[in-house]
Amino acid sequence: METRFIGGRVIWQAGALALTVCVGVGTAQAEALRPKPRPVVAELPLLSSSLRPMARPVAAPVVLAPVQPAPSTRLAVVTSLRPISRPKGFARKIASSAPKPASAGRRGRICGVNEIKGQAISAIPGKINGCGISDPVRVTEVSGVKLSQAAVMDCTTAKALNSWVRNGVYPAVGRLGGGASSLRVVAHYACRTRNSQRGAKISEHGKGRAVDIAGIRLKNGAELSVLRGWRDPVQGKVLKKMHKAACGPFGTVLGPNADKYHQDHFHFDTARYRSGAYCR
């Protein structure tokens, strides 16, 4: 019985050992299959105020170095482009560069002046008492400026007209439109009374001592019209200069400011008065 007991014990111990081994193997497999816990991760620190945008540092004031002038070249200027005062005599120099009448030859001259072109004609008797010209000429050009129509007058008036064109028209017009080209003549010799009024005195036109100019045509085709330009801010200045320059060569100068009869032309005549020239 003891042997059996011992054998039984042995057998039991062997069974227990086998059971233990089986349980151990099962436990190991279970442990292997059990999910492993996540590794412990160190907690991140909370965002601190140190990560906020910092104020920009105050920059030191910038000191600009003085600009050095560039060396002068053909394409650069060293001095300022501010306009400088005109030198003395500048206006006179500009005026001297304006167009001037060219020297005229003797061919076609009348009244003994090369610049006056035309022809001498026979004496003109008056149809009424006080009219007529003893030594008339028919003028076609003065100082290189043509007349729109041949104008009949005496030589005294022809010379006055030539002087006015040379010393009045040319300087007043200057280079405007290329210069003066012709005079628009609207009246010359005509045996009539003043302003064609009945009972009035004989006009200077009836004596060959007057000429009426309504405009000055320029070389570019434009015209300085007494009627349209007298009160124009640009043309008016030129026309008024010419009107003023006529006072001297002519004894009587009438324009738009004179009366209603001269709104569209200048009246020039060589009548002389003890009190001097009459200019309106």
Instruction: Count other Cβ atoms within 10 Å, centred on residue 67.
Output: 6
- pLDDT tens digits for range 205-216: 999 999 999 999
pTM: 0.65
In the predicted structure, residue 97 carries a pLDDT above the cut 90: no
d(CA 40, CA 31): 20
What was the pLDDT predicted at 80?
Answer: 54
Two tokens, residue 256: 């738009």
Contact of 125 with 237, CB cutoff 8 Å: no
How many CA atoms does the CB half-sphere of 131 hold within 13 Å? Answer: 17
Instruction: Please determine, for residue 141, whether its predicted confidence score (pLDDT) is greater than 90.
Output: yes
What pLDDT is recorded for position 29?
Answer: 54
CB 135 within 8 A of CB 116: no
Report, as an integer, the average pLDDT of 183-199.
92
Q: What is the per-residue pLDDT for 197? A: 86
Query: What angle do the packed helices 235-246 and 155-164 form, to 10 degrees?
Result: 140
Beta carbons of 157 and 209 less than 8 angstroms apart: yes
With cut-offs at 50, 70 and 90, classify the pLDDT of residue 37. low
Give the mean pLDDT of the chain.
Answer: 81
Determine the straight-line distance between the first and last CA of the chain, rounded to whole angstroms.
Answer: 177
Average pLDDT over residues 266-279: 92
Angle (CA) 102 107 108, round 5° = 95
By CB atoms closer than 10 A (0-12, 13-18, 19+), residue 160 is buried
Pick from 135-144, 159-168, 190-199, 259-268: least confident: 190-199
What is residue 72's predicted lDDT score, i.e. its pLDDT? 60
